[in-house]
Amino acid sequence: MAVSPELNLENMDETARLKALREYSILDTLPEPRFDRISQMATRLFKVPMALISFIDENRQWFKSCQGLNVQETPKQQTFCLHTIASDELMVVPDAVLDARFADNLWVTGELGVRFYAGAPLIAPNGAQLGTLCILDTKPRELDESDRETLRDLAALVIDELQLRQVLSTREENEGRLRLLESAIVHANDAILITEAEPINQPGPRIIYANEAFLRTTGYTLQEVMGKTPRLLQGPKTQRDQLDKIRAALEKWESVVVEMINYRKDGSEFWVELSIVPIADERGWFTHWVSIQRDITSRRESEAAHRESEARKTAIFENSLDAIVTMNADGEIVEWNQAAEKIFGYSREEAKGCDLANLIIPPAFHEAHRSGLARYLGTGEARILNHRLELPAMCADGREITVELIVTRLSTEVELLFAGFIRDLTEQKLIEAAFVAARDEAECANNAKSEFLSRMSHELRTPLNAILGFSQILQMEEGIEPLRDIVDDIHDAGRHLLLLINEVLDISRIEAGQLALSPEPVAVREVASEALILIAPLAAKVNVSIEASVILDSELYVLADRQRLVQCLLNLLANAVKYNRDNGHVDFECLSVAPGSDASENGGTEYLQIRLRDTGIGIEAEKMQRLFIPFDRLGAEQGGIEGTGLGLSLTKSLVEEMGGTLGVESTPGVGSTFWLELPIAESALPQALNGFSDENNNSEIAIESSVLLIEDNPRNLRVIERILAHRPRIKLLAALQGKLGLELARQHQPDLILLDLHLPDMQGDAILLALKAQQSTRDIPVVILSADATLGQIERLKADGAREYITKPINVPQFLAMIDFILSGK
Ligand code: ADP
């Protein structure tokens, strides 16, 4: 229904009206008796079936109280009341059917059948028309002046109730808020104390309230603190200056915050942060002090711990022997410790804030430093962080030093920093240089020593060849008996000297790392038997039996240098025999050893243990650690047993060079067990002709043969002549020079050539090559005779075509066996 044109709603300040309505917060509330009483009173007073109290907002008429009809709200435009609130006056419609404004209103035409309407506007004290109190009838009627007055009074009563309701609800709200505040204070985590405002000085303001947290932290009950002053919290350590600060603030009625030590009832201390504020009444008079106390003991403790840790860090920073320098993302120095001052010569004040590159990085490295920093900041790619680097650095006096540097990123919340830990390597470099020089010098000296020993041994071997050769020849001569003891002594002394020379030479080679070994699969049985054959004469001489059936039956191979292994076994066998007792015994056996439980220990390799158990004098425990010291014979030199004191140390070095180990167990008076372990090899390589011995080659050649000896030393020539005198079917030709030797070889086509390596006109190896190069001499077997026993040399000459290589001094029986072997065409 359109608003009637007579209505002057334009004049109403609708916004102000709606604002006033909202302030009463009445819309959409539940029915209340105080309003229902008024509407009921209206129905009774006016004897009408319907009375309504309603409020009108922007869209609707909402009913707070309804008598005679049940309605919540209706659209605003359809209402009588909209007309009522358009003025401050009552609106009376005696018969709506006859009133053009309402004749077709739904309330009139519909089920309600309203004919009469009288409404009084509900006018707030500020003049806003909030709604209406209206009475309705289904019959037309009139209102006299007294009725009108009554209706107005009832409307005024509605407004009074509305006002009262508002006052009550505001009070309730305030009370609720007060309860909330009180509960907040009572239950606050911080201790809260309220005192009177005065007296500020003696005895101090009296406590009128303390909350739960206060009682909890201090241990007092409420009764114990009420009426007292806050001084009961103070004690000997309470800071005087903080108390003065409080008093000064209180005297000026100002708030204050302090931190100080308070005391609990039981006398224990705690730290509080105390905030005191004055409270004034509505006239502005200060009536109370409120103090809020926060227990900051743990904060103070962690601050103290932090300070301590800072102090420790500073002490480390300052006392570090390394320079510690921190740099920010702009490359500027932030911190510079004392060591940095000392190393680089800049004081902390000079260094701080400077560009690190300009200060200590040599110009050649500036670009790398800057681009590295930019790359890290841009992409996070760190190339040098947390790596040890060795770099040059610049000092204040222009010196360039070498430093060791490690840079790490410091994660601070404030800014990105890099810390460099820098060590001056100048002194270390000098030491290293001196060390390298000393090492080079020592190496030089060592090489010279090795060279000297090698030469000396060569020089010593040559005359020994004569001594040993002749003494052996003499031993074979008939009619020598009266002089045999002397000849034997000469021979023994010569052999001892030879042994000594060989062992010294080997040890010096091992020390110089020049010992060339040729590891190959070696049949244990063979090397054992070779060593046994060589030791047999000595064992027989001193009456010691050797049980070797286990090792001689062994089918196993070890990875070793064949010659050297024989040498090692011989040394150990010789000791087991020498240091045995009369009628003593030696067990020479072997057993395979499974890899250790930790397979990585030896890579899972299986080892063969060769054991020599003797029944000899044994070794005392305290002497054990001297066992492998060269020349230390552990006192055996006094017992008349021949020896050099080098055998065990050489054996140990050789075994270790071959990848094995040497060990010993011994019980004095019972015997010793020496064992060596070597890796077991899969199978044997094809064996070359190995060693000769007179014992297994005693078949003297039956046919006539010729042997050419190319040798410049007449004494050695005589030795060979005398040896070969034992082979009367051999015709010996001799050449004192190389070229002559070649000539004789061509002319006479000997069956064998014995070639010395050092000749006045030509080197032996050149002669060998010349022999092998000529058709006529190519097939003649050549045996090299030399005092030079280096493995490399032997291998080289064998590769050039030498059939055998005999080292001087010559072992006569072996030499003869070899000659027999070759000449008999084996
Ligand atoms: P040597 O030439 O004196 O035999 P070694 O180096 O072979 O030198 O041995 C060093 C010392 O160890 C010997 O002098 C001896 O005192 C002691 N020794 C070696 N083997 C045995 C053993 N099987 N029984 C007792 N003592 C031994």
What distance in angstroms lies between residue 519's CA and the mean position of ligand 1's atoms? 27
Q: Of 73, 67, 92, whose CA–CA distance to 144 is shortest?
A: 92
What distance in angstroms lies between residue 632's CA and the mean position of ligand 1's atoms? 9
Distance CA 465, CA 446 (A): 28
Q: Whose CA is nearest to atom 13 of ligand 1?
A: 633
Q: Of 542, 629, 613, whose CA–CA distance to 576 is shortest?
A: 613
CB 191 within 8 A of CB 293: yes
CB 518 within 8 A of CB 640: no
- Alpha helices in 329-421, H assignment, sequence order: 338-344, 348-351, 356-360, 366-379
| Cβ density class 620-633: b for 16+ within 10 Å, e for less | eeeeeeebeebebb
pLDDT digits (tens, 9 = 90+) for 801-824: 999 888 777 878 788 888 888 888
What distance in angstroms lies between residue 539's CA and the mean position of ligand 1's atoms? 16
What stretches in the chain show pLDDT beneath 50? 1-11, 596-601, 684-698
Ligand 1, pocket residues at CB < 6 Å: 571, 575-576, 579, 614, 616-619, 627, 633-634, 636, 643-649, 672
DSSP assigned state of 670:
T
Q: Whose CA is nearest to atom 8 of ligand 1?
A: 645
Q: Of 554, 545, 488, whose CA–CA distance to 527 is shortest?
A: 554
pLDDT at 702: 58
pLDDT at 416: 86
What distance in angstroms lies between residue 666's CA and the mean position of ligand 1's atoms? 12
User: Which atom from ligand 1 is nearest to the alpha carbon of 616?
Assistant: 24
User: Which atom from ligand 1 is nearest to the alpha carbon of 646?
Assistant: 6
Residue in 544, 568, 575 to alter for ligand 1 test, most ligand atoms within 8 A of Cβ: 575
Cα of 719 vs its chain's centroid, Å: 72
User: Which atom from ligand 1 is nearest to the alpha carbon of 643?
Assistant: 2
Two structure tokens written together for 726? 């034992």
pLDDT at 594: 66
CA 636 to each of CA 584, 620, 623: distance values in angstroms, whole numbers, following the listed order:
18, 12, 12
- Exposure of 531 by Cβ count < 10 A (0-12 exposed, 13-18 middle, 19+ buried)? buried
Q: Of 118, 108, 114, whose CA–CA distance to 138 is shortest?
A: 114
Strands 269-280 and 545-547: unpaired
SS3 sequence of 440-463: HHHHHHHHHHHHHHHHHHHHHHHH
CB 482 within 8 A of CB 489: no
- Alpha helices in 61-144, H assignment, sequence order: 81-84, 106-109
Residue 62's H or E segment, with its range, is strand 60-67
Distance CA 130, CA 110 (A): 27
What distance in angstroms lies between residue 274's CA and the mean position of ligand 1's atoms? 90
Q: How many residues does the chain have?
A: 826
